[in-house]
Amino acid sequence: MSPHALFAPLPNALWKEHRYSPRKVEFLSKALSDGAHRAGRHFDLMSGISQGDDIAKALVEGAKENELSTLVAMQPFTGPLADEIPQITHALAEAGVSLQLVRRPDDVELMKHATAGFFGFWKKTAKLRDRAPL
């Protein structure tokens, strides 16, 4: 993969709507920022995060600003962001931008075992985790 731009909008309104604690918002913001900066260094691209209340709007603006016709993002397995994917996809499509969601094979393999409870998952995936380059 050879990206042409890298940007990560923070879904502030989503976090507020789901009543994320200030500590959780701080952690997620730092994690997204760190991930964006690491990816930027890896691909030799400018990177950063953008603040805003509408993640779909921020993605459309970022795509237009960088003259992109396709965005590639990690596909969330579940949760509020996964619930927003149809609206995000629709907003991008209206702007002429496609959204390609991807998953790492190791994540897919591990998540097959996430059926109930952390400790059961941890036990069932020990061998997989030992060999996976996480």
Can you give the pLDDT at residue 125?
87
Question: 133 pLDDT exceeds 80?
Answer: no
- How confident is the model over 24-61, as pLDDT tens digits? 999 999 999 999 999 999 999 988 788 778 899 999 99
- Enumerate the domain spans of the chain: 8-102, 104-134
> Quick check: 14 and 53 in contact, CB under 8 A?
no
131 or 108, which is more confident: 108
pTM for this predicted structure? 0.81
Give the class (CATH, top level) of 8-102: alpha beta
Q: Write down the pLDDT at residue 132.
A: 61
Q: How confident is the model at residue 131 (pLDDT cuts 50, 70, 90)?
A: confident
- Residue 73 DSSP label: E
Task: Identify the three-state secondary structure at position 132.
Answer: coil
CB 84 within 8 A of CB 14: yes
User: What is the C-alpha separation between 75 and 99, in angstroms, rounded?
Assistant: 10
The per-residue pLDDT for range 75-110, each reduced to its tens digit, is 998 899 999 999 999 999 999 999 999 998 888 888
Position 71 scores a pLDDT of: 95
- Is pLDDT larger for residue 116 or for residue 13? 13
Contact (Cβ atoms closer than 8 angstroms) between residue 34 and residue 1: no
Q: Which amino acid, 23? A: R
